[in-house]
Amino acid sequence: MGLDGTISPVLGNLSSLRYLVLAGNYLTGTIPSQLGQLRNLWMLRLDNNQLQGTVPPGLSACRSLYYLALSYNQLHGSIPPELSLLKSLKYLYIGANSLTEYGLGGSVSTKGDVYSYGILILEMVTRKRPNDDMFVGDLNLQKWVRLAFPDRLTDIIDSELLNEVNENMEDDRCLLSFIHIGLLCTAESPSERPSIRDVAKTLGSLKPSSMGGAASSMLTATISELLKTNPTGTLAPDSQSSTF
């Protein structure tokens, strides 16, 4: 049984809050504009609820906002231009709402969903976050992994996962394909990224049931998350089909 009712405006008083995850519940009502008071907020997940109304422009005051998920609600209107120009915002999920064609600035695009799945994959494999202290200058998570792929993966794969995979050659091949998908999804140009449909199809072909322990759990969880937030396997109208 998940949470129901409305989102309390009082949450806006939690000034030091960095992560607010209310996804996958039965929340109704509107998104409180008071959430814009969360100046240190890094991640806001309100997806998979029953929220209505418009996206409040006040969210643009969250100057540290990096990840915003609003998919699978009943929101309408357009993304406020103040929010779309927020320089810190890198990942934006808006699928399955009645939000119109919107003006997105900076690096936010209509392929933000598939990009975010790629980041999720790379996070799971490396156990590193995009905001990890090691990523400075022009070095980011995906570039770090790309530099090691495919010959120096032992330098970046989480040690616990690596120990398990090394015991099974089939797992090793699956993990290599898994990382490859993550890198394709995080291609710098949105036009070079695969569609969600292709990602789901390719992940499914890796057959996690043939993998053991942590490797199986990791792949199964990723497929589950992908299909939960995009059950139809579709993306924005401008997405292009591609093959791996």
Which domains, ranges and CATH numbers included, belong to the chain?
A: 4-99 (3.80.10.10), 112-229 (1.10.510.10)
Percent of the chain with pLDDT over 90: 19
- pLDDT value of residue 232: 40
pLDDT tens-digit profile of 49-89? 899 999 999 998 998 888 888 877 888 887 887 776 777 77
- pLDDT value of residue 128: 84
Question: Looking at the predicted structure, is the pLDDT value of residue 110 above 60?
Answer: no
One-letter amino acid of 127 = R
- pLDDT value of residue 120: 78
Question: Looking at the predicted structure, is the pLDDT value of residue 236 above 50?
Answer: no
- pLDDT value of residue 221: 57
Half-sphere exposure of 69 (CA within 13 A, CB side): 21
- pLDDT value of residue 230: 46
Give the mean model confidence (pLDDT) for residues 195-208: 73
Per the rule left: phi > 0, alpha: psi between -120 and 50, beta: everything else, 207 is: left
- Report the candidate in 141, 121, 92, 122 with the shortest Cα–Cα distance to residue 222: 121
Are 37 and 20 contacting, i.e. CB atoms less than 8 angstroms apart? no
- Measured over the CA atoms of residue 70, residue 71, residue 77 and residue 79, the dihedral's sign is positive
The rounded distance, in Å, linking the Cα atoms of 30 and 190 is 31
Q: Which is it for strands 4-6 and 26-28: parallel, antiparallel or unpaired?
A: parallel
pLDDT tens-digit profile of 154-181? 898 888 777 766 555 556 677 788 889 8
Give one DSSP letter per residue of 110-156, joined into a string.
TTHHHHHHHHHHHHHHH---TT-TT--TT--HHHHHHHHTTTTGGGT
- Report the candidate in 59, 121, 69 with the shortest Cα–Cα distance to residue 90: 69
Specify the higher pLDDT residue, 214 or 47: 47
The rounded distance, in Å, linking the Cα atoms of 211 and 45 is 30
Percent of the chain with pLDDT over 70: 72
Q: Is 216 helix (H, G, I), strand (E, B) or coil?
A: helix
Global pTM reads 0.51
Average pLDDT over the chain reads 75
Cβ partners under 8 Å of residue 185, min gap 6: 114, 115, 117, 118, 119, 121, 193, 194, 199
Rg of the chain on CA atoms, in Å: 18
Specify the higher pLDDT residue, 15 or 30: 30
Specify the higher pLDDT residue, 207 or 156: 156
Number of Cβ within a 10 Å radius of residue 240: 13
- pLDDT value of residue 223: 55
- pLDDT value of residue 125: 85
